[in-house]
Amino acid sequence: MELWLYYQDGTSSKPADALVLANDSKLPEWATSDELLRTYSLDGGGVVDSSGRAVGAFIQIEDEEGQDAAMEFIGLADWLIVDCTDWKMIPLENLVSASDGTSTKIAASISNPDQLQGAAFALQRGVDALLLPDDEEIWAVAQELAAQRLADATGADEASATVIEQEIELQSMKVIGIETGGLGDRVCIDLVQMLEVGEGLLVGSSASLLVLIHGETIASQFVPPRPFRVNAGPVHSYVMMADGSTKYLSELIAGDEVLVVSPGGSRIISVGRLKIEPRPLLLVRYEDGIGGAGQVFLQQAETVRLVSNIENPLSVTHIEVGMEILGLSAAAGRHIGNAINSDVEEK
């Protein structure tokens, strides 16, 4: 996905793939030395390149007539620049769908950061270019999304520009105790994407020793799977966030990004909803084999599973002392969820 700069006289330099000159604007001096930088001008409703050749159309979409006018250029124009004055996703999705398999590429004119993700990932495919104003916040978000699009296209592991400072290396923990945990306010975390078998969230009563709680991706005899859900335990527990920090389950809100982990890797997914209900709990105690011990409270239900291997996640109602589960030994000291170099003991 390309990033284009809408240039008006005085606009500052940006790492753009192309410039679109506003009416009567002159090519800036900083752009003349870059022979690879393409330039376009808007001539009425047309798009003209630096040689004067018509390469496409510029359409403002305010209603169905505007969408129909844009559709007429699909398959004929090299580029179709669209500006939804009252920003709506449906016309953009319709154009992305119609242009699929044709020679026409779609560029979306952007005026605020909230429009970027929808344009970049419309129908999963997204537009071919974003036409951006001289706005630092918009450019910062657009560059992250462009990096994510590139990672998706190339199959790179880092499908997000968000960098997780600590590497997730799951290790084996031994179960050393199982007991009833009373009644607690259990939190189900419903995510905005489907989980695969083997994936879950890192949760625990101690930030130094978290265990991998498996998603509800496995069918049960009595209830259907909920492949977007992790039954993460009561409100006091920690959960690993996308940036390597932790939050209490009680602090999570819709839109927060958590780190979804499996024995094969990790990815970032947003929280869509939380479901908090009083439920009977089990307390599972475990140790990491190098002197660390931790515990996790979980709902007493066969659909709640810990991970030993991706073929056979262990139901918490059938787990036994001596079994091995996967978890993470992390920094013990935390302040407002962030790791600190300080003596902190959690029991």
Rounded CA separation 331/154 (Å): 33
For a pLDDT cut of 90, what percent of the chain falls above it?
A: 44
- For residue 297, CA distances in Å to 36, 233, 261 come to 59, 6, 19
pLDDT digits (tens, 9 = 90+) for 28-52: 777 776 666 788 888 778 898 888 8
User: Which tokens sit at 298?
Assistant: 């979980």
Token representation of residue 277: 């209900």
Q: Which CATH architecture has domain 171-339?
A: Beta Complex (2.170)
**What are the residue ranges spanned by the domains of the chain?**
2-154, 171-339
Question: Sorting pLDDT into bands at 50, 70 and 90, what band is 158?
Answer: very low
2-154: CATH topology is TIM Barrel (3.20.20)
For the segment 176-234, what is each residue's pLDDT rounded down to a tens digit?
999 999 999 999 999 999 999 999 999 999 888 999 999 999 887 777 889 999 999 99
Q: How far apart are CA 108 and CA 95, in angstroms?
A: 10
pLDDT at residue number 309: 66
Report the chain's mean pLDDT, rounded to a whole number: 85
pLDDT digits (tens, 9 = 90+) for 226-275: 999 999 999 999 999 998 889 999 999 999 999 999 888 889 999 999 99
- Greater confidence (306 vs 289) lies with 306
Q: Side chain identity at 20, as an amino acid letter?
A: V
Q: What is the pLDDT of residue 21?
A: 86
Q: Read off the pLDDT band of 87 (50, 70, 90).
A: low
User: Rounded CA gap, 44 and 57, in Å?
Assistant: 9
Phi, psi (rounded to 5 degrees) for 142: -60, -40
Alpha carbon separation from 199 to 110, 230, 256, 310 (Å, rounded) = 36, 9, 18, 8
Phi-psi label, residue 126: left if phi above 0, alpha if psi -120 to 50, beta otherwise: left
Tokens of 6: 């809408």
On the question of a common fold for 2-154 and 171-339, the answer reads no
